[in-house]
Amino acid sequence: MRIRRSLVSASACIAAMAVIAACSGGNGAASSGGASSGGTGSTSAPAGATDTGATINVGSIYEPQNLDNTAGGGQGVTEALNGNVYEGLYKLGDDGKVTPLLATADKVSDDGLTYTFTLRDGVKFHSGAAMTSEDVKFSIEKVLGPDSQSARKGDLQVIDAVETPDAHTVVVKLKQRSISLTYNLSYVWIMNHAATNLKTTEDGTGPYQLDKWQHGSTLSLKRFAGYWGTPAKNGEVVYHYYQDASAENNALLAGQLDVITGEQSPDALAQFDNNPQFTVNNGSSTTKLLLAFNDKVKPFDNKELRVAITEAIDRHALLQSIWGTYGKVTGSMVPPTDPWYEDMSNVYPYDVAKAKADLAAAGYASGLTFTLDTPNYAPHPTAAAFIKDSLAKIGVTVNINIITPDQWYTKVYKNRDFTATMQEHVNDRDVVWYGNPDFYWGYDNPDVTKLVDEAESSQTTADQTAKLKQANEIIVKDAASDWMYLYPQIVVSKSTVTGYPINGLNSQFYAYNITKTK
């Protein structure tokens, strides 16, 4: 899971991960490399000559914690390095589809328990070493290692063994059938098994290699001359990191940036809308803002209490206060881009009178007090204050405890030392984490666990979709968490810049198709 700006990766570890039309990648070779199959630009190519050696200046508020996505690199490392510096056997596209990348073919046994992958020829790491099956085995086992914080570590526990019969063949044996295997493998970055210091350096196979990282300022990627696929359409990408959205927007207005990966200040959009110098794109997001209860401990081991809390918060008003007309209240963990999406926003609608009655029925007629652990970056403190004011109307006192991302990871995710918390989960298809009773929020419903397991063992996506819809309906009716809203994905660029992804699935930002006219 991955959480925004947090060290957690099983993203659900939270902050959770990605898809099933996307879920089972197709067989056969991809026609070209990562750089040739990136996200779709939001506008047609502008008039004028394209500068193939251009430097693309990208604005972001998500600087990596480190450069290793199995070591808590956070959202920023995915945004900068996924698909750009590192590649997987499969690729999750901006359209949510999974296609082969470093694997050219897969063969599945009749019982669904053995996958044989054929690796692409001629792939070299940035160090110059040839990619072999040993590197793939190392990378998968790194994700599964005891210290891994990878987003899909839990989902890939289904792997029983990884074998390397020859340099270009990898055999993955499963403990049970997994319809999502190729989808989950798109999260596994293939790294050189001989590489070291991967928190500060890299050795991937992507169209860019790391140039330099100036902590607290910029991270630069330069086009890799030895790339196996279609070269990047620009010469260099520089990620510029900002502490607040206003500074980032001012940099774009001043011409210091070419594109912002995700607008964080809706009030600032007026200066870009209807301005021919800029393009504003409203894409699809998978990032959810949650009020997550610790369902294993009092008082939130009480379903009726969780329901009352949910009914007391006007999620539409919260969304409007932060994002205006952007974003969406979905009422569940499932975004519209997931195949099993259903609008669940009316299961427990805002109703203060009913919330008071349900609070009394839960045994708290005189109210209660609890602590809400809240990350220190926007919009969490603002959302926490809104929740505090809302719950005061039904006699519930909320003590807000502001903590850093590192503290959140240790206190909440790792030690489970919390009553309730705010957090963003950035991944798609992460509703399955509610099927894991050991996940940080402690939700434990055997019916949900059974449905999630059965969905993963399905032989068809239709069966998987039906089971996950059923599971999600139970999760929502149990008020396992309170899902505040789905973030908008607003990408703003100069009008002379095109080719960037606009949907931001799981925070990835493929840069290799971005072009800029001279």
Q: Does residue 378 sit within a domain?
A: yes
Q: What is the pLDDT of residue 47?
A: 52
- Tell me the whole-structure pTM to 2 decimals: 0.81
pLDDT tens-digit readout, 20-40: 223 333 333 223 344 433 333
Residue 228 has pLDDT above 90, yes or no: yes
Query: Is the distance from CB of 217 to CB of 241 less than 8 angstroms?
Result: yes
**Sheet of 103-108, strands arranged across:** 103-108, 114-119, 169-174, 159-166
| pLDDT band for position 507 (cuts 50, 70, 90) | confident
Q: Does residue 416 sit within a domain?
A: yes
Residue 200 has pLDDT above 80, yes or no: yes
3 state SS of 252: helix
Which of 243, 246, 290 is CA-nearest to residue 266?
246
3 state SS of 337: coil
Q: Does residue 420 sit within a domain?
A: yes
Q: What six digits make up the tokens of 416?
A: 């489970």
Largest CA distance in the chain: 70
Q: Does residue 81 sit within a domain?
A: no
CATH of the domain at 466: 3.10.105.10
Q: What is the extent of the structural domain holding 323? A: 288-486
Q: What is the DSSP string of 42-109?
A: SSPPPSS-B-TTPEEEEEES---SSS-TTTT-HHHHHHHHBTTTB--SEEE-TTS-EEESSEEEEEE-
Whole-number Cα distances in Å, 513 to 35, 50, 219, 348, 493? 6, 12, 18, 43, 14
Query: Is the distance from CB of 90 to CB of 136 less than 8 angstroms?
Result: no
Residue 78 has pLDDT above 90, yes or no: yes
Q: Does residue 178 sit within a domain?
A: no
Q: Does residue 13 sit within a domain?
A: no
Separation between Cα atoms, residue 24 and residue 26, nearest integer Å? 6
Separation between Cα atoms, residue 234 and residue 285, nearest integer Å? 26
Q: What is the pLDDT of residue 13?
A: 36
Q: State how many domains the chain has.
A: 1
Q: What is the pLDDT of residue 518?
A: 81
pLDDT tens-digit readout, 217-227: 999 999 999 99
